[in-house]
Amino acid sequence: NMADNEINLNTTVILERNSVLKAVKLVANKVIVFEKLRFKPDKAVGCNYGTVFKVTLTPQRSSPWCKRTIANGEMEITDQDLDSLDTNADDAQGKDNRSLVDTHGKSQTIKRENILEMKGEGATGEEIVKCLVENSSSFNEKTSFSQNKYLKKKKKKYLSYIRIQRPNSRLICQLYQEREPAKICNMRMETMSQILTAANIKHGCNVGVVETCSGVVLGSVLEKLGGKGCVVNLHNGESPPNLFAISHFNFPEPDSDKSDNDITMDTVSEQSNGCDKTKGDNDIKVSGKKRRENRLKHQQRAWGVLENKLLDAVVVVCKFHPTPILLCLLDLQLSRPFVVYSEHKEPLMELFVRLSISGSAINLQLTDTLTRQYQVLPERTHPHVMMSSGGGYLLTGLKITNS
Amino acid sequence: MGFTSFKSNVEAGDIVIIFMGHDSMFPLYVKKGEISQTKFGAIKHDQIINHKYGTKFTCSRGWVYVLHPTPELWTITLPHRTQILYTADISMILFQLDLKPGSVVCESGTGSGSLSHAIIRTIAPTGFLHTVEFHEDRANKASLEFKKHGLADYVTVYNRDVIKLGFPVTSVADAVFLDIPSPDDAISAAANALKQSGGRLCSFSPCIEQVQRTCTNLRQQGSGFKDVQVFELIRRSCNVKRVFVPMADLGLDNDEVRSKVVGESNVLPSVTQKHAFCCRTCVLPKETYGHTGFLVFATYQPN
């Protein structure tokens, strides 16, 4: 079904320029500002996901108090292969650098101001690159390999290609990992992937989720449920949690078949004391009676799952100390998994000991994962020079009877 | 049906996991009237039928837990017919291939079915796995195993050579997984199996030379593949233990020594302990997997 693969208005997409990602909701006629580019999304509508667009450069404001209106860039479909702009991806390496003379930037006579001026006059990216080449005294002395590399570097900077991708948990996780890791408790995607398998998340299961990861964990769990099952999202305090990333997933509007349910964590502790009153139905900020009714219905369903101890998995990925949270939620069904993430080892060590003493869990494992990415090129294969030095810890286990 | 859905009680015909300890588990097919021997004594199957999963049973020389099967438990208990993939790599593969209920996947080879079980769990009940194995006996055994596990509706095993014949289906897959000796020769087979609207590819290889050839072919003009990335994962499991670090006898009764070690603040209780400093720590195993294989990922998107 090709129509499924078309970019539509009023959905969230992932924009990519030079490996930088951003999630944006496309709204007709509304200007998008992304990586120094300004453009309206309308031309992307109807194109397939994965299409690469060239966006014309826009003159930049010369000073912050300059109120001159700025023209928007134009979007244009291209078949540019973004990988071919990767300066590392060349076939051969330059011989050596014995004849390289460091000119300390004097070989280029075009200065930053000149470029800004050119942009102000509406020069295209190609014109700027051409001008840079013509005014570089060293360009002709370079080997063809390094001429190529120079060109690619400049093209990458001045020719503005963006790619539009369909959001999914992989891209949303990557986006947060690279741009706002603190908002997902510095969790990395290999950890996210292990959370989903260790908790055995599958179609139609009931999952209890406690997260302070902007909704990335909740959204990923929902994605893997495939529209059936129940997620009971427990959060701290009365105020609604930050679940901004949920909107990136383009889940259907909250209606009868949506499986996300909110309950405050505080209500759970009440519930565990034998009180069964739901809280928080006064602070629902929704317009329309139907949505309110739906929401209430969801909350009741979530309560039903908790009260009848029907949880198939518990996932805790938050900034809080996990021990009390997990101990309250350990009412899940027998032989079902739980997964707890923490940025730090010590809280999980404590939980590990508590659980092994209590006898309510087996197969306890405290793990961390080292991920190494590789540059694989002919004659130039090696691990990436920079890598993440640690991505937190996971405690996994299975619930059993303690009798 | 245990791998794709949950149930609370053990029934005849189920596959269950018998847990005797962290590194001592095995799978068991429950059959009326049968008795199985374990190192802790005999298990009468009739004794566990109708009981809840997660229940503890006492045998003559110890106790066992009867666990609900999961692809992760299966991975650590399955009968090996080949080298298998383990959970850290499997997790990354499922996640990077964007698998979810409804995805159609092509896999080669099936091997011992460790990854296959995890794929089926994630894509069921609306998705499908086409798995190809060139070794006839292994293909038959895998096929039988899927049937026994109630997974036949979600998977077909084909005995064929993917490099010579390609995958048995064309333009239907959302994802392709390769774990074969020369994945670089199967790139066009993968492209043919993937949907024209695009999809994801993963190739797992233990050796860097295979990875280099695969990357070269993926980056070939007109291959349709983009965003080639290579990862390696090392997952460490640690043991929480109380350790005692002995203190050297420096003669803390001596005032001069004491003032040097304790200082004025007297805030470090550890240094004044007479015999040993005690703390809880994570003890790493003496040996661990330092290398399983390289994971090559790419996006398929023909122009």
Cβ partners under 8 Å of residue B23, min gap 6: none
**What pLDDT is stored for residue A254 in this prediction?**
56
Q: What is the mean pLDDT of residues A318-323?
A: 94
Helix then strand then coil, % of chain A, to nearest 5: 35, 20, 45
How far from chain centre, in Å, is Cα B2? 17
**What pLDDT is stored for residue A390 in this prediction?**
80
Q: Which residue has the higher pLDDT, B287 or A272?
A: B287
What letter represents residue A14's amino acid? Answer: I
Domains in chain B: ranges and CATH: 15-69 (3.10.330.20), 74-234+291-300 (3.40.50.150), 239-283 (no CATH)
B13 is in an annotated binding site: no
CA distance B8 to B1: 12
Subunit contact A224:B122, Cβ cutoff 8 A: yes
Cβ atoms of residues A217 and A339 within 8 Å: no
- Give per-residue pLDDT as tens, A338-350: 999 999 999 999 9
Q: Which of residues 164-183 of A touch B (CB under 8 A)?
A: 168-170
Q: What are phi and psi for residue A83, nearest 5 degrees?
A: -60, -30
DSSP E strands, A46-160? 52-55, 75-78
CA distance A365 to B235: 11
DSSP E strands, A132-288? 161-165, 206-211, 230-235, 260-264
At A241, list the tokens: 């949690």
**What pLDDT is stored for residue B45 in this prediction?**
95
Closest CA to A23 of A225, A287, A182, A219: A219
Helix axes A169-179, B87-96, angle to 10 degrees: 100
Cα end-to-end span (Å), chain A: 53
Subunit contact A374:B230, Cβ cutoff 8 A: yes
pLDDT tens-digit profile, chain B (303 residues): 589 988 889 999 999 999 998 889 999 999 999 999 999 999 999 999 999 999 999 999 999 999 999 999 999 999 999 999 999 999 999 999 999 999 999 999 999 999 999 999 999 999 999 999 999 999 999 999 999 999 999 999 999 999 999 999 999 999 999 999 999 999 999 999 999 999 999 999 999 999 999 999 999 999 999 999 999 999 999 899 999 888 888 777 788 877 777 766 655 556 666 678 888 999 998 888 899 999 999 999 997
Q: What is the mean pLDDT of residues A135-164?
A: 80
- Give per-residue pLDDT as tens, A181-227: 999 999 999 999 999 999 999 998 999 999 999 999 999 999 999 88
**Other CB atoms within 10 A of residue A152 CB:** 17
Helix axes A112-120, A125-134, angle to 10 degrees: 150
Locus of tokens 């503005």: A160
Cβ partners under 8 Å of residue A367, min gap 6: A194, A393, A394, A396, B235, B236, B237, B238
Range with the lowest mean pLDDT among A123-137, A364-378, B22-36, B200-214? A123-137
Q: Is A379 on the interface with B (CB under 8 A)?
A: no
| pTM of the model as a whole | 0.90
**What pLDDT is stored for residue B271 in this prediction?**
60
User: Taking the domains of chain A in order of start, what are their residue ranges?
Assistant: 2-164, 169-399
B208 → closest Cβ in A337, A381, A398: A381
Cβ partners under 8 Å of residue B216, min gap 6: A378, B184
CATH of region A169-399, choose from 3.80.10.10, 3.40.50.12780, 3.40.50.150, 3.40.250.10? 3.40.50.150
**What pLDDT is stored for residue A221 in this prediction?**
94
**What pLDDT is stored for residue A286 in this prediction?**
36
A349 → closest Cβ in B229, B282, B294: B282
**What pLDDT is stored for residue A59 in this prediction?**
59
Q: Is A144 on the interface with B (CB under 8 A)?
A: no
Name the residue in chain B with its Cα closest to that of A345.
B282
B197 → closest Cβ in A2, A312, A364: A2
Cβ atoms of residues B3 and B121 within 8 Å: yes
Cβ atoms of residues A358 and B189 within 8 Å: no
**What pLDDT is stored for residue A65 in this prediction?**
59
Percent of chain A with pLDDT strictly greater than 90:
43
- Give per-residue pLDDT as tens, A59-104: 555 555 555 555 677 787 877 777 776 655 554 445 566 666 777 7
**What pLDDT is stored for residue A277 in this prediction?**
30
Cβ atoms of residues B84 and B111 within 8 Å: yes
Does residue A273 surpass a pLDDT of 70? no
Name the residue in chain A with its Cα closest to that of B95.
A193
